[in-house]
Amino acid sequence: MTILCVRFQLPPMHEAALPGLLGLLEDFTPVVEALPPDGALADLRGAERYFGRDAVELASVIRVRALALYGVDCAIGAGPGPMLARMALRDARPGVTCVVPGEPEGIAGFLAERPVSALPGVGAATARTLCEYGLDTLGLVAAAPLSTLQRLIGARAGRELWERASGIDRDRVVPNAVSRSLVTERPFERDELDPDRHRRALLSAAEELGARLRAVEKVCRTLTLTVRYADRSSTTRSRTLKEPTAHSAALTKATYGMYEALGLQRARVRALALRAEGLTPADQASHQLTFDPVDEKVRRIEEVADRARAKFGPRAVMPGTLAA
């Protein structure tokens, strides 16, 4: 086993704890890929040789350290590749590492009876098409002629599906900095019904994200909104922005759009979280110029406000709604 897929059992609205937990994994290997909001992939090939332990033994050490240092348990899947480790994680539970054998026979046995929808990258439409032709398990997909799969779902998709169903895992763990995503959270003191309070919390979160992005000279491509309810259920929505930005007004508009699309009616909201993803350097991002003087004015005010906050603190300048 060389790849671990780890899901930390974070308490609700504690996504911001992920950077520290990623640092724990980086004590074992520099090849760590964050999977926000609560997971990561770790390539332990070098660590196995260095520590003289296999990936399952190292997984036990990681679990103990996460509990001792952060009070967080974790579920871990282990496999010879990232895809298989992700699939193993679905069967894992805290305290027990689910392992996919490294031998071809063991991989085939692990995949054979699983539904096609269990394969990463297979959506509902593809799974429905395959099931209509009786290919409802990965074992049947692997045994089907490649040409049949390519006629059903396309040449490239068919080949990728056949390879994955056969246990051929071409994915790689791509190291990424924790700054590839930023998250901010707004819990309520009590379950909140008032939509106006929801919107003020979202405005505050978007303003904070924008300021943090500008401080590190980054822009984000995608926003993800998570709404957690009184019954501990949650709803998550993502929106890809028209252009990468750190402009607070654009982030707020996108955030409000996602919130309105949920159509909440007297929902008892316990907390809100907003995550900026797909971060890239601001100097490499393009910006569509406009003839709107208001937009230019707002951006200049934003620059002045950032300088004021840097000198006098984060509450030196804020929207009037939040100041009230």
Tokens read off for 165: 């169903």
Q: What does the pLDDT look like over 201-248, one tens digit per residue?
A: 999 999 988 888 888 788 888 999 999 898 878 888 888 888 888 888
Query: CB-hemisphere CA count at 13 Å for 102?
Result: 9
Question: Cα torsion at 187, 189, 191, 197 (round to 10°)?
Answer: -70
157: nearest Cα among 166, 146, 173 = 146
Share of the chain above pLDDT 90, in %: 20
Pairing of strands 39-43, 3-8: antiparallel
115-124, 142-151, 247-256: least confidently modelled range: 115-124
Q: Indicate the burial class of 108 (C-beta count within 10 angstroms; 0-12, 13-18, 19 or more).
A: middle
Say how far apart CA 114 and CA 87 lie, in whole Å: 10
State the average pLDDT for the chain: 85
Tokens read off for 270: 């316990």
Asked if pLDDT for residue 256 goes beyond 90, the answer is: yes
280: nearest Cα among 317, 225, 243 = 243
8 A C-beta contact, residue 157 and residue 232 = no
Say how many Å lie between the first and final Cα of the chain, rounded: 56
Contact residues for 80 (Cβ-Cβ < 8 A; gap 6+): 1, 2, 3, 100, 102, 107, 169
Q: What does the pLDDT look like over 132-189, one tens digit per residue?
A: 888 888 999 999 899 988 998 888 888 999 998 888 888 888 886 544 677 888 889 8
What is the structure's pLDDT at 61? 92
Q: What does the pLDDT look like over 290-319, one tens digit per residue?
A: 676 777 777 787 888 778 777 777 777 777
